[in-house]
Amino acid sequence: MQQYGQQTGGHDNTLFTEQDHNILLKFQPDNSPENEAYKTFTTRANEWAPFLPKYFGTKVIENKTYLLMENLTARFSQPCVLDIKMGKKSSAPDASEQKKEIQYKKALSTTGLSHGLRIIGMKKYDHVTKNVVTYPKSFGAGLDNMDKVRLSLTHFFSAACPHTATSEQIVNETFQQSMIEADLMQAQINRNAIQSVISQLQNLRDFMCSPPKTKFNFYSSSLLITFDGAIPNSGDVSTKMIDFQHVFEQVPESVAYGEDDGYIDGLNNLISVLQEILSQEQLLKQS
Ligand SMILES: Nc1ncnc2c1ncn2[C@@H]1O[C@H](COP(=O)(O)OP(=O)(O)O)[C@@H](O)[C@H]1O
Ligand SMILES: [Mg+2]
């Protein structure tokens, strides 16, 4: 078993691969409800299955339980990975008061509470410069408005970008301007990937609004967007829901009973900002 090297968020030392790199093993702490959520999503509520990594049950190794799921980066030679936490409710109703406060502050100081989405972290491979850059959680924590989120997404989907950014730099206006120009004017933005993500997000949004037979509230759950940075303009992108430690079925006896529109708001805001990036590039090209 070896440590998984493409993580862009979450707890350290919890994700592993074996010989078969297509499968990811996620350590399940005691009483973790994530495995139960996956079971529900792939059996009784399997209309959700197309939106999540494939699930392969659990495995016990040296007395520790691991959940087995599809490794969403395995088929890419140089994965670009983006973790976006979705929803406006910052913490689960069963969290401790201390945890609720910490989570609330994080959501309040980023775009989580206001827009139902916040970038946790990302990893980017640039096929022109051959750079691999990992943007840690501290990067995501500094993105406190949608302009910075838009710039970060532009950066994520662009190649030949001479800059690597810290969240402090993204605050700096000169840097913002030069990044927009560098990214967009060199026309190295991966439009195919962005278009494909938009249509996958629209499918998920339409599914959630339909509404599905079995409804859930998601807390601290993410969308994971991945594509191959080694292939210029690849439209082969995966957009999947991950991280189901705090998922509650919409049934009257649930502690989290009641509608949660924050996820759908987050999807709509993400679709809008990606559409903005595409139309901004179009305008710059014409000017
Ligand atoms: N199925 C997957 N395929 C590829 N990478 C994954 C997958 N699930 C999680 N990851 C990576 O691991 C990170 C942490 O996973 P997550 O399920 O969010 O754990 P945690 O519960 O610790 O937050 C994610 O940000 C992502 O980069
Ligand atoms: Mg996570």
Mean per-residue pLDDT pooled into runs of 10, the chain (287 residues): 93 93 94 93 97 97 96 97 95 91 93 97 89 89 92 87 75 73 66 97 97 94 97 96 95 83 96 93 71
Cα of 7 from ligand 2 centre, angstroms: 10
Q: Which ligand is nearest to the CA of 5?
A: 1
Domain with CATH 3.30.200 in the chain: 2-70
Query: 158 and 278 in contact (C-beta within 8 Å)?
Result: no
pTM listed for this prediction? 0.95
Which residue, judged by its Cα, is nearest atom 15 of ligand 1? 10
Cα of 186 from ligand 1 centre, angstroms: 32
Q: Could you read off the pLDDT of 94-150 as tens digits, one per residue?
A: 899 999 999 999 999 999 999 999 999 999 998 888 888 899 899 999 999 999 999
CA of 72, closest atom in ligand 1: 3
Q: Which residues contact 31 (CB under 8 A, 6 or more apart)?
A: none
Cα of 243 from ligand 1 centre, angstroms: 7
Does the C-beta of 243 come closer than 6 Å to ligand 1? yes
Rounded-to-integer distance, Cα 127 and Cα 149, Å:
22
Cα of 14 from ligand 2 centre, angstroms: 11
Pocket mutation for ligand 1, best pick of 106, 224, 228, 245 (most atoms within 8 Å of C-beta): 224
CATH classification code of 2-70: 3.30.200
Domain with CATH 3.30.470.160 in the chain: 73-287
pLDDT of residue 180: 66
Query: 110 and 86 in contact (C-beta within 8 Å)?
Result: no
pLDDT of residue 15: 97
CA of 243, closest atom in ligand 1: 17
pLDDT of residue 16: 97
pLDDT of residue 181: 67
Q: Which residues contact 175 (CB under 8 A, 6 or more apart)?
A: 163, 165, 169
Does the C-beta of 33 come closer than 6 Å to ligand 1? no
pLDDT of residue 204: 98
CATH entry 3.30.470.160 includes domain 73-287? yes
Does the C-beta of 112 come closer than 6 Å to ligand 1? no
Which residue, judged by its Cα, is nearest atom 1 of ligand 1? 71
Residue 92 has phi, psi (to 5 degrees) of -70, 150
Query: 23 and 69 in contact (C-beta within 8 Å)?
Result: yes
Please state whether beta strands 132-135 and 64-70 pair in parallel, antiparallel, or not at all (unpaired): unpaired
Cα of 9 from ligand 2 centre, angstroms: 6
Cα of 65 from ligand 1 centre, angstroms: 16
